[in-house]
């Protein structure tokens, strides 16, 4: 892809992170950070003069930082230092699992992620909402520069298109929907008579509730630390809502309890489940943990009448899905190649426009200096005439420079040569302009 040019700085496009294929899911979850710490991370990253943009994509299955930076080594080192600091000492053990991608490889990876190719379940839809959230958080932190904003918007657009136009996203086989299928198997019957409690009102919690409801289950409870968020989701399903203080009642009444939060700690303990079992009259209980780090005490799996399903249980099914959708993935990869080329064309075109602006600015400075030297700087007629002369002289030249933006390989080299030939300034500024 070459370097991304922002304002008057050459930018390198970088992706640093790991996912379920390369690391234990517990470590992936620990690196993900909660929303507040993600904001701190983004703000501290772009406070570094060499880093112009940062977006953090954090899900149950992956934690990735996308950066635009002048110096790859500095950016990589700074990102790792901050991740270790904010994720805690435990994150040190998995540092070797961090994968660093540069330039075209990094951009291709982003498109593969939003298209669902890199997901545990190929073609799942949740990642689109998670990528949108990542971009929004970056914008709120003042960390989204033009290159990252454009890259994410194009990646999201392609992700939507391939799901509608290919069979990759057919059936919405998300992590949540696979968990629903496993629950149906555990209950030994269809889900029409099953009551479900969902703990967590975020993207994954909403998707879990939708998936259960689509299979005929009754969403009985939606719980969340923020009761207002729980009420909003519950209203969509005619469910009761509440905070964490209602968890005991939900455990006693529901047949399935699905948990999907970013609390980063155990919310359902073995003792709490054991207490709830005493009032269930022998009814079985299925616990579903969609969170990382885990929110359900693993010791609950040893209690009589309890089955604990975790996200790790999906890996085998995900591999089968990947094999079945191989032909679709190959088709999507061809579309990704085209999108990468279009992004590169946009980048070089933007570079060309910047060169034209700088050339015209330089010519205007020279014009004003000459007028001042001859004592006619205040002569309005002379000012209009010389301004028109500069525009006429640079019109065709400017159009030729802009045309270089249509040739991504040779154009980049020519633009660099023009900057050097005319000694155009290269200022160290951070522009967060709109794409």
Catalytic positions: 60
CA 372 to chain centre: 53
Residue 77, token pair as written in the block: 């080192």
Cα separation of 125 and 210, whole Å?
13
Q: Contact, 13 vs 150, CB < 8 A?
A: no
Residue-wise burial string across 7-46, b where 16 or more C-beta atoms lie within 10 A, e elsewhere: bbbebbbbbbbbbbeebebebbbbbbbeeebbbebbebbb
Burial of 356 (0-12, 13-18, 19+ CB in 10 A): buried
Tell me which DSSP letter residue 237 carries.
Answer: H
- Positive/negative CA dihedral, 245, 246, 252, 255: negative
Residue 35, token pair as written in the block: 């929303």
Roughly what angle, to the nearest 10 degrees, separates helices 326-373 and 380-403?
160
H or E element, residue 14 = strand 9-19
Specify the residue for token string 């065709």.
396
């Amino acid at each position: 892809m070459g370097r991304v040019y922002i304002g008057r700085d050459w930018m390198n496009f970088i992706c640093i992170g790991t996912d379920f294929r390369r690391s234990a899911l517990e470590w992936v979850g620990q690196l993900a950070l909660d929303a507040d710490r993600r904001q701190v991370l983004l703000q501290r990253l772009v406070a570094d003069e060499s880093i112009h943009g940062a977006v953090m994509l954090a899900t149950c299955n992956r934690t990735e930082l996308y950066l635009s930076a002048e110096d790859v080594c500095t950016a990589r080192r700074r990102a790792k230092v901050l991740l270790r600091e904010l994720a805690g000492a435990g994150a040190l053990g998995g540092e070797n699992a961090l994968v660093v991608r540069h330039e075209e490889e990094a951009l291709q990876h982003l498109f593969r992620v939003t298209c669902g190719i890199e997901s545990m379940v190929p073609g799942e839809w949740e990642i689109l909402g998670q990528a949108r959230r990542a971009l929004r958080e970056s914008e709120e932190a003042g960390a989204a520069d033009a290159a990252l904003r454009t890259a994410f918007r194009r990646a999201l657009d392609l992700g939507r298109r391939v799901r509608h136009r290919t069979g990759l996203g057919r059936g919405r086989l998300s992590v949540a929907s696979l968990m629903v299928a496993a629950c149906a198997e555990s209950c030994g019957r269809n889900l029409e008579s099953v009551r479900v409690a969902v703990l967590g009102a975020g993207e994954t919690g909403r998707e879990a509730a939708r998936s259960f409801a689509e299979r005929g289950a009754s969403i009985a409870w939606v719980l969340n630390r923020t009761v207002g968020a729980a009420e909003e989701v519950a209203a969509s399903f005619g469910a009761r809502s509440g905070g964490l203080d209602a968890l005991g009642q939900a455990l006693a009444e529901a047949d399935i309890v699905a948990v999907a939060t970013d609390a980063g700690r155990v919310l359902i303990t073995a003792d709490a489940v054991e207490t709830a079992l005493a009032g269930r009259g022998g009814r079985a209980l299925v616990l579903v943990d969609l969170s990382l780090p885990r929110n359900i005490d693993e010791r609950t799996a040893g209690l009589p009448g309890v089955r604990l399903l975790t996200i790790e249980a999906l890996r085998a099914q995900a591999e089968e899905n990947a094999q079945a959708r191989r032909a679709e993935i190959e088709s999507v990869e061809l579309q990704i190649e085209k999108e990468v080329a279009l992004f590169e064309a946009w980048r070089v075109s933007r570079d060309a426009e910047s060169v034209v602006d700088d050339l015209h600015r330089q010519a205007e400075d020279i014009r004003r200096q000459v007028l001042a030297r001859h004592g006619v700087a205040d002569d309005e007629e002379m000012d209009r005439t010389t301004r028109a002369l500069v525009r006429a002289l640079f019109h065709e030249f400017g159009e030729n420079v802009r045309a270089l933006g249509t040739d991504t390989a040779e154009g980049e080299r020519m633009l660099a040569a023009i900057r050097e030939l005319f000694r155009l300034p290269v200022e160290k500024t951070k522009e967060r302009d709109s794409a």
